[in-house]
Amino acid sequence: MQQQLRYVGKDMPRRDAVQRVTGRTKYTADITFGKTLHASLLHSPYPHAVVKRVDASKALKMPGVVHVLTPFNTPQHRFGRTFSPVPWKVIQDRKIIDPVQRFAGDIVAAVAAETPETAADAVELIEVDYEPLDYVDSAEKALHPDAPLVHDEIEVGGSVRKLSSNVGFADVVEIGSREAAYSRVVKTYEDSFRTQILYNAAIEPRAMIVSPRPDGTLDVYCTTQSIHGTRYWLSKALQIPMNKVVVHGMTLGGGFGAKYNLAIHEPVIAYLAMATGKTVKFVSTRQQDFYTTARRAAYMDVRLGVSREGRIEAMEMKAVLQSGAYADHMIEAVTCTGGWFISSYAASYRYFEGKGVYTNLPVCGAMRGFGNPQQNFALESLVDEIAEDIGEDPLEFRLKNLPREGDIYYGQGPTVTTVIRSMKLENAARKAASAFGWTTERKVVGNVVHACGVAVGHHTSGTGGQMSETQDRQEGAGTILKLNEDGTISLNTAMVEMGPGEHETLANICAEYLGTKPENVYVEIGNTQYTPFDMGTHASRGTYVGGLSVIDAAEKLRQQIFEMAAEMMECSPRDLRMVEGRIVHVESPEKHVTLSDVAMRFKTRKGFLPIAVSGLRPNAAPPSWAVIFAEVSVDLETGHVKVEKVAGGYDIGTVVNYAEAAGQAHGGIATGIGYALTEEVAVVDGKYANPSFMDYLLPSAAETAETIVFFADSHDPYGPFGAKSIGELATNPVASAIANAVSRAVGKRFKKLPLTPQTVYAAVKQP
């Protein structure tokens, strides 16, 4: 089947490449309407405080200032900001502007003025009286019995819930018999691991334009990964009907999960537009963008039990996730971290206990991997330790303990499962290991030690799974396809293009299915008034869920085309096939009509052009798998670590576009290098200490490594043309492989990220 494909499985060039690299692509910040007001925000200087008084009189007297919002002239109802769960399970703990400020950077006031400069100057004139409160700036402090509460109450499902601790959500997952598993265990290993706060670091910061129509409808242009998710919670925040909120899909300059929530400033900007009746624009500074989301810091206790044959029989984890001042994705982060952990190896007993904890720090949301890199670092570090202890090759130990086809995958936790129907990681792992030169031997050259590490990881393809028809799950996608008079096809979707080429992939899949060329398929993201529902670009679902939706619509359109073509050619639709824009008779290829002919016949005989609409909820979320090999050099005199070489082997089903898949792999490896070695949001006295690219250390070209990428010869029956995902998978095991390599080089296990020169040097010098 794969050899017959013309476009899927090939290197396909990006049609928007020239526009992007020449700066012609328009992003939200590039747009300005006439007579636009500009917003500026005043942020709390305290991690925890009550606003007692706001005096905006001096600001309002400034020429060009139109309006000022404060906690005392905005509605005080709570709303949620998390897109994925069904709404009645979302924790609602945010107000447009709350008199209780819960982190340094929370919003105290907002100014709308005629120029950005005027708005910024006016913010400086606002006088505020604060009552500082005690605060907690780590999960450990937040869990102390005497810790001050970040929230004393929240709302869930329409009910107010009183809180007696800073635990916003807790979950326990248990699979199998503990007693039976431990009866086969001959040795138990356990340890504790910690990971840091990370910033998503999309090059494009958050931006928003809200333009009111005369009837009160709001046109919203913003940096979101889900136009329908934004519409839902923005309408709730503003307390206006959903059909009065029109969210327009915009091209994103990266996201990595950062834009998959309703940002804390977005209801504020929208309310400014409502209050003034004028268009309001806001573009975050880099520091403000740091306040919108982050990867959660985690600390994890892991316990693994191994049998005499070297099988992992029992695996247990207790995890605490630092979630910041508001519950962005708090519930899903806990449940998904548990799902990732228990899906990693085929142990007969698996246990996970997780807590999402409020702190007085900026909000943590989604970031590439969504809890998977954290648990992977802890689990793969301990797995490496076991392999060394029992004298097995670390790669072989992992491969023999992996799940197999027919096993259950618990990607998002035990309520939504998928039967694994493709598992070809070993194929790619062998190729990558050979090309990489995998070895467990250390090489010492002067003060520099070279060593290699390995780690295995996985990720879901979307958030679907085996569900009953009565089970609620907010996962779905829709597509509209229209055949035009010239035989071209218009594809309308609500799936946001985030940068990796989601729309190109949908065009290729559509062209493959309908027997036309990709350049004849035009993909447009519309707005929430006329696009089918789509959950958004997240959870590595673009190719898999979006592709299934396109194929569903394409099949419906093809049926219409075949029926009309059969009428035109006086034959049965069963005798026809589509190739290169023509509908051809199978037995008499000289008999054919073009897609243009069919479209015109519809238009002149039926009075319309054929349109097909799809909408579906996937019944599976097939896992993709990766193995990462990393070679590092460690300078024992300075503690400096350099990643010299990385090889990745991936089972992602059918590779729809090799160039884009390889690009995702390279990008994921770069993200993992930063996670392992350089990146950390520092917290000092309850505040972010380095919210800028001057001080937050992203990996540069100097930190990148020679990279080799291999894809398994794989095909997943669930996926469109056999495809699965790669987006988040590409990052998940990278930091773990690097940490294992550094541990092997130094001869000591590292249990906390990042591996800074100071950390490594201290370990080297420790007796």
Summarize pLDDT for 678-712 with one digit per residue, the tens.
999 999 999 999 999 999 999 998 888 999 999 99
- pLDDT of the residue at 470: 76
User: pLDDT per residue over 240-283, tens digit each?
Assistant: 999 999 999 999 999 999 999 999 999 999 999 999 999 999 99
Query: Residues 595, 515: contact at Cβ < 8 Å?
Result: no
Closest CA to 677 of 752, 765, 766, 626: 752
Query: Residues 340, 403: contact at Cβ < 8 Å?
Result: no
- pLDDT of the residue at 573: 94
| Measured distance CA(220)–CA(266) in Å, rounded | 10
- pLDDT of the residue at 371: 96
Helices within 277-329 (DSSP H only): 286-290
pLDDT beyond 70 at 608 = yes
Going by DSSP bridges, is the β-strand pair 624-635/641-651 parallel, antiparallel, or unpaired? Answer: antiparallel
The amino acid sitting at 252 is L
The conformational region for residue 246 under phi > 0 = left, psi -120 to 50 = alpha, else beta, is beta
pLDDT more than 70, % of the chain: 100
- pLDDT of the residue at 85: 85
Rounded average pLDDT over 193-222 = 97
Rounded average pLDDT over 432-440 = 97
Give the CA dihedral 97, 99, 104, 105, nearest 10 degrees: 20
For residues 442 and 468, the model is more confident at 442
| Measured distance CA(555)–CA(544) in Å, rounded | 16
Question: Angle at Cα 387 formed by Cα 383 and Cα 390, nearest 5°?
Answer: 135
Query: Residues 748, 763: contact at Cβ < 8 Å?
Result: yes
| Measured distance CA(91)–CA(288) in Å, rounded | 23
Question: Which residues have CB under 8 Å from 605's CB, separation 6+?
Answer: none
Closest CA to 253 of 220, 295, 207: 207
| Residue 510 neighbours by CB distance under 10 Å | 25
The conformational region for residue 18 under phi > 0 = left, psi -120 to 50 = alpha, else beta, is alpha
Closest CA to 325 of 157, 131, 100, 42: 100
The amino acid sitting at 67 is H
The whole-model pTM stands at 0.97
Question: Please, is 723 exposed, middle or buried when counting C-beta atoms within 10 Å of its C-beta (0-12, 13-18, 19+)?
Answer: buried
Q: How confident is the model at residue 183 (pLDDT cuts 50, 70, 90)?
A: very high
pLDDT beyond 50 at 359 = yes
- pLDDT of the residue at 500: 87
| Measured distance CA(165)–CA(159) in Å, rounded | 18
Rounded average pLDDT over 21-40 = 94
Which residues are bridge partners to 449 per DSSP?
Answer: 444, 634
Going by DSSP bridges, is the β-strand pair 312-322/349-357 parallel, antiparallel, or unpaired? Answer: parallel
Does the N-terminal peptide bond of residue 75 adopt cis geometry, omega within 30 degrees of 0? no
Rounded average pLDDT over 629-658 = 97
| Measured distance CA(670)–CA(170) in Å, rounded | 33
Burial readout 72-107 (b: 16 or more C-beta within 10 A, e: otherwise): eebeeebbbbbbbbebebbbbbbbbbbbbbbbbbbb
Q: At what angle do helices 547-569 and 502-514 cross, to 10 degrees?
A: 30
Query: Residues 759, 638: contact at Cβ < 8 Å?
Result: no
Q: How far is CA 312 from CA 304, 316, 422, in A?
A: 7, 11, 22
Q: How confident is the model at residue 203 (pLDDT cuts 50, 70, 90)?
A: very high
Q: State the DSSP H helix or E strand holding residue 41, giving kind and residue range, or none if neither.
A: strand 37-43
Q: How confident is the model at residue 13 (pLDDT cuts 50, 70, 90)?
A: confident
pLDDT beyond 50 at 1 = no
Rounded average pLDDT over 311-322 = 98
Q: How confident is the model at residue 414 (pLDDT cuts 50, 70, 90)?
A: confident
- pLDDT of the residue at 2: 43
Question: Angle at Cα 548 formed by Cα 545 and Cα 552, nearest 5°?
Answer: 140
- pLDDT of the residue at 472: 84
User: pLDDT per residue over 490-501, tens digit each?
Assistant: 999 999 999 889
Rounded average pLDDT over 433-441 = 97
Helices within 209-312 (DSSP H only): 227-238, 266-276, 286-290
Question: Which residues have CB under 8 Å from 749's CB, separation 6+?
Answer: 191, 381, 385, 743
User: Reduced to 3 states, what is the DSSP secondary structure of residue 36?
Assistant: coil
| Measured distance CA(727)–CA(541) in Å, rounded | 9
User: pLDDT per residue over 660-677, tens digit each?
Assistant: 999 999 999 999 999 999
Closest CA to 453 of 401, 373, 388: 388
Q: State the DSSP H helix or E strand holding residue 69, giving kind and residue range, or none if neither.
A: strand 65-69
Mean of pLDDT over the chain: 96
User: pLDDT per residue over 445-467, tens digit each?
Assistant: 999 999 999 999 999 999 988 87
- pLDDT of the residue at 469: 74
